[in-house]
């Protein structure tokens, strides 16, 4: 079965399709608006207020974006900690999505903060580090992890460089590849440690807003809930990405492997749901879950999405159906994303005088960043050996 | 290899277990109540003495070199609707349909165990001399996490600025250093807000409650709320109606401390976990480096 998977290879030829051109246009619009945001300031560019100082950019780009970027983390857990080596071929594409997700998140933060030109002080001024600050932990871990992801991907770039026609590049690649391979296990271990720390940390963040957080979400379990759900979302993202690239690039999807990921999602979602439900019971909030007010309805939708995903993943037969697996993963991502939006925007209640809904500029900047991410991904898999599996033409033969 | 992936798993589960344990015993880390530092200063605001003249607001703006905020007054006078990037101190009016009313002064409460200083990444917000929660813009990247976590929604942001800072009362720390009173306390014509040692003002507040039974809601707001604050309130109207919520005695950072600090104690758990993960990685080194999936042969 080992030989069933081809070595990763670059996918030539599908760059500037119509949808990629459309995405590029959206990315350019986002880019222009980002420049505008720095010219007019946050007050005019966004709908943010002193009541809702964090909005769409934090809730989606950073908190949800990094969770969607947990594919690399989730698959690495599966491959290395659970020793399921057969999932290794999906690791590299998963790492690419993760690297993009995290880089975009880090970039978004620079748009969101008011004084980004001082951001370099966070990693550098260690003598000022406030070791009680969860945000410091999250910031340092996200910065470090974005770097770790690109280092983990570096072999892909160097493998390509080895075949370069420029002799200097070729020699550099040949000199550095062995060094990198020696260092990689240590870097890859960081690649498991850092997400464990900061994904739970993202949940811990709002624990400090405790007095103003709606009781349905205000629990000491926030870190564990964020951690478990991000792993499930990571698997979901890998399935969706594999299914999409299979369709768009005309490659045969690795059904057995994706079905396996579908199987891996179930226990993780179950753990998440158990913690969430037991927590609501223990904290005596379970009645409020069915109060059918705005908060209860949103929570129930969260639960509905996740139970829906579980229902679609129940049997092996279902998990081997790519369309079904895709829908389940989509429900899972929506459920996880909604949970994050609920915690950061809905559960957070600064008082009756405040309201927040993202304005057009905020939305277009977020859309632009996501578009840029997808375009970047397409370009990268075209240029470098990322995707394993086989082109459909080879299969059809 | 002696250390297996199972051990790594155990540590990961252990971290989760620690969270569970913390949840099972809430408030234990908070066994010791927050004690004000010996040099702590405070403000005591007595709503029954406030006449709503807002002289303190003007004095505050002057002392802190803040632009006046005309609000909706079309430039006629200073009339901010709330604390904001130009307003560190505000007098608000609460009025009931029946006629009962009260003014209330809002500003930074200078919590004994603040959420903002616990949140701030580089300690731009810090509890310093005299217990004043002060702000250093050189260490602030404008993330606004302080605004997210403050239970009194005090730290405000200069949304209109291209180099925005956090704006909040710092007890006029420069004036204190010169031996002067904070701007607001210097000008208050009725003594509704006074400044002094924390212990003295707490005693004064209790003396007033004892001396005038029935005049006040029998409680010093800020004595126990979120672990205690260095701005104390007396009022004749329910505090919650004045925008001062009924908070319990646990400091806001308590829950985070239980989860976060217990797990990361001395950075030992993450370092141990890293060592285990590195061992796991060395075990499947060939897979990590992408030199080929030989590991597969070992799979059951």
Instruction: Say whether pLDDT at B30 is over 50.
Output: no
Instruction: Say whether pLDDT at A179 is over 80.
Output: yes
Lowest mean pLDDT: which of A348-352, B85-89, B135-139, B166-170? A348-352
Instruction: Say whether pLDDT at B15 is over 60.
Output: no
DSSP category for residue B62 = H
The pLDDT value recorded for residue A367 is 96
Q: A208: which chain B residues are within 8 Å (Cβ-Cβ)?
A: 115, 118-119, 148-149, 252-253, 255-256
Nearest CA distance, A112 vs chain B (angstrom): 7
Instruction: Say whether pLDDT at A86 is over 90.
Output: no
Residues B114-161 have pLDDT tens digits of 999 999 999 999 999 999 999 999 999 999 999 999 999 999 999 999
DSSP category for residue A219 = -
The pLDDT value recorded for residue A14 is 61
The pLDDT value recorded for residue A2 is 40
State the average pLDDT over residues A351-361: 91
Instruction: Say whether pLDDT at A30 is over 90.
Output: yes
The pLDDT value recorded for residue A390 is 58
Phi, then psi, of B249 in degrees rounded to 5:
-80, -5
The pLDDT value recorded for residue A391 is 56
In the block, residue with structure tokens 């939006």: A341
Task: Label residue A20 by pLDDT band (50, 70, 90).
Answer: confident
Task: Label residue B31 by pLDDT band (50, 70, 90).
Answer: very low
The pLDDT value recorded for residue B126 is 95
State the average pLDDT over residues A366-379: 92
Beta bridge partners of B221: B233
State the average pLDDT over residues A230-248: 89
State the average pLDDT over residues B18-30: 42
Lowest mean pLDDT: which of B3-12, B55-64, B122-131, B274-283? B3-12
Phi, then psi, of A347 in degrees rounded to 5:
-70, -30
- Give the whole-angstrom CA distance, residue B184 versus residue B62: 10
State the average pLDDT over residues B200-209: 96
Nearest CA distance, B207 vs chain A (angstrom): 30
- Are A105 and A66 contacting, i.e. CB atoms less than 8 angstroms apart? yes
Cross-chain residue pair B162–A220, CB shorter than 8 Å: no
Q: B290: which chain A residues are within 8 Å (Cβ-Cβ)?
A: 8, 92, 155, 181
Task: Label residue A102 by pLDDT band (50, 70, 90).
Answer: very high
- Are B45 and B182 contacting, i.e. CB atoms less than 8 angstroms apart? no
Q: Which residue of A has its CA nearest to B276?
A: A189
The pLDDT value recorded for residue A256 is 87
DSSP E strand stretches across B36-188: 41-46, 90-95, 101-106, 125-127, 133-135, 156-157, 166-167
Task: Label residue A388 by pLDDT band (50, 70, 90).
Answer: low
Q: B9: which chain A residues are within 8 Å (Cβ-Cβ)?
A: 81
Task: Label residue B11 by pLDDT band (50, 70, 90).
Answer: very low
Higher pLDDT, A318 or A357: A357
| Average pLDDT across chain B, whole number | 85
Residue A251, token pair as written in the block: 């490659």
State the average pLDDT over residues B241-253: 92
The pLDDT value recorded for residue B1 is 39
Instruction: Say whether pLDDT at A49 is over 90.
Output: yes
Q: Which residue of B has its CA nearest to A225?
A: B16
Nearest CA distance, A376 vs chain B (angstrom): 23
Instruction: Say whether pLDDT at B27 is over 50.
Output: no
Task: Label residue B72 by pLDDT band (50, 70, 90).
Answer: confident
SS3 content of chain A, % helix, strand, coil (to 5): 75, 0, 20
Q: Edge-to-edge, what's the strand order for the sheet holding B231-234?
A: B193-197, B41-46, B231-234
In the block, residue with structure tokens 């250390």: B3
CA distances (Å), origin A33, targets A41, A110, B11? 11, 14, 45
Instruction: Say whether pLDDT at B20 is over 50.
Output: no
Residues 6+ apart with CB under 8 A from B286: B292, B293, B294, B295
Task: Label residue A88 by pLDDT band (50, 70, 90).
Answer: confident
Q: Which residue of A has its CA nearest to B5?
A: A81
How many Cβ atoms are within 10 Å of A179's Cβ, its own excluded?
Answer: 10
Nearest to A113 among B141, B247, B293 (CB): B141
Instruction: Say whether pLDDT at A79 is over 70.
Output: yes
Instruction: Say whether pLDDT at A396 is over 70.
Output: no
Residues 6+ apart with CB under 8 A from B82: A50, A353, B90
State the average pLDDT over residues B178-205: 96
- Are A309 and A32 contacting, i.e. CB atoms less than 8 angstroms apart? no
Tell me the DSSP string of B218-262. SS-BTSSGGG-BSEEEE-SS-GGGGT-----SS-TTHHHIIIIIH
Cross-chain residue pair B119–A134, CB shorter than 8 Å: yes
Residues A200-235 have pLDDT tens digits of 999 999 999 988 999 999 999 999 999 999 999 999
- Give the whole-angstrom CA distance, residue B153 versus residue A351: 9
Instruction: Say whether pLDDT at A376 is over 50.
Output: yes
Instruction: Say whether pLDDT at B99 is over 60.
Output: yes
């Amino acid at each position: 079965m080992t030989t069933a998977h081809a070595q990763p290879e670059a996918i030539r030829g599908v760059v500037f399709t119509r949808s990629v051109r459309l995405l590029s246009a959206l990315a350019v619009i986002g880019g222009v608006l980002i420049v505008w945001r720095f010219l007019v300031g946050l007050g005019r560019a966004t709908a943010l207020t002193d009541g809702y100082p964090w909005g769409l950019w934090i809730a989606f780009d950073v908190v949800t974006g990094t969770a969607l970027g947990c594919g690399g983390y989730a698959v690495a857990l599966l491959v290395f900690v659970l020793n399921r080596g057969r999932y290794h071929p999906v690791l590299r594409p998963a790492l690419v999505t993760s690297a993009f997700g995290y880089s975009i998140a880090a970039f978004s933060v620079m748009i969101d903060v008011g004084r980004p030109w001082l951001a370099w002080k966070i990693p550098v001024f260690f003598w000022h580090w406030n070791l009680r600050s969860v945000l410091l932990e999250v910031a340092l871990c996200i910065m470090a992890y974005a770097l770790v992801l690109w280092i983990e991907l570096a072999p892909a770039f160097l493998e390509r460089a080895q075949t370069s026609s420029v002799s200097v590049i070729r020699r550099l690649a040949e000199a550095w590849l062995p060094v990198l391979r020696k260092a990689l296990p240590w870097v890859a271990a960081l690649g498991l440690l850092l997400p464990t720390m900061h994904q739970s940390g993202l949940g811990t963040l709002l624990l400090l807003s405790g007095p103003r957080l709606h009781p349905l979400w205000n629990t000491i379990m926030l870190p564990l809930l964020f951690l478990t759900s991000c792993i499930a979302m990571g698997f979901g993202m890998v399935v969706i990405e594999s299914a999409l690239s299979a369709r768009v690039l005309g490659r045969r999807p690795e059904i057995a492997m994706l079905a396996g990921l579908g199987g891996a999602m179930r226990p993780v979602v179950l753990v998440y749901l158990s913690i969430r439900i037991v927590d609501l019971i223990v904290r005596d909030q379970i009645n409020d879950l069915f109060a059918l007010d705005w908060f209860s309805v949103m929570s129930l939708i969260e639960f509905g999405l996740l139970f829906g995903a579980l229902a679609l993943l129940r049997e092996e037969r279902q998990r081997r159906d790519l369309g079904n697996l895709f829908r389940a993963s989509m429900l899972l991502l929506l459920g996880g994303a909604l949970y994050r939006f609920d915690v950061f925007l809905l559960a957070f209640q600064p008082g009756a005088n405040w309201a927040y809904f993202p304005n057009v500029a905020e939305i277009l900047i977020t859309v632009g960043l996501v578009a840029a991410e997808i375009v970047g991904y397409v370009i990268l898999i075209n240029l470098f050996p990322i995707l394993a599996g086989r082109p459909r033409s080879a299969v059809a033969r | 290899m002696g250390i297996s992936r199972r051990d790594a798993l155990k540590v990961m589960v252990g971290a989760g277990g620690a969270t569970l344990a913390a949840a099972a015993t809430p408030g234990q880390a908070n066994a010791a109540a927050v004690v004000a530092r010996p040099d702590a200063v405070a403000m005591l605001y007595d709503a029954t003495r406030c006449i709503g003249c807002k002289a303190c607001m003007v004095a505050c703006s002057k002392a802190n070199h803040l632009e006046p905020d005309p609000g909706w007054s079309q430039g006629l006078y200073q009339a901010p609707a709330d604390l904001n990037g130009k307003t560190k101190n505000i007098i608000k009016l609460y009025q009931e349909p029946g006629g009962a009313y009260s003014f209330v002064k809002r500003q930074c409460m200078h919590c004994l165990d603040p959420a903002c200083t616990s949140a701030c990444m580089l300690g731009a917000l810090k509890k310093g001399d005299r217990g004043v929660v002060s702000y250093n813009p050189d260490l602030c990247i404008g993330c606004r996490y302080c605004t997210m976590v403050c239970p009194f929604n005090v730290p405000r942001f200069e949304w209109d600025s291209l180099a925005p800072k956090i704006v909040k009362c710092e007890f006029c720390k420069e004036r204190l250093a010169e031996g002067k009173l904070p701007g607001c306390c210097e000008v208050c014509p009725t003594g509704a807000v006074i400044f002094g040692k924390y212990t003295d003002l707490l005693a004064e507040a209790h003396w007033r409650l004892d001396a005038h039974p029935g005049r006040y809601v029998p409680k010093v707001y800020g004595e126990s709320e979120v672990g205690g604050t260095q701005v104390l309130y007396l009022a004749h109207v329910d505090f919650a109606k004045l925008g001062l919520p009924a908070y319990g005695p646990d400091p806001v950072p308590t829950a985070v401390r239980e989860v976060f600090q217990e797990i990361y104690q001395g950075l030992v758990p993450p370092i141990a976990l890293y060592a285990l993960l590195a061992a796991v990685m060395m075990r499947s080194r060939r897979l990590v480096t992408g030199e080929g999936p030989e590991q597969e042969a070992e799979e059951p």
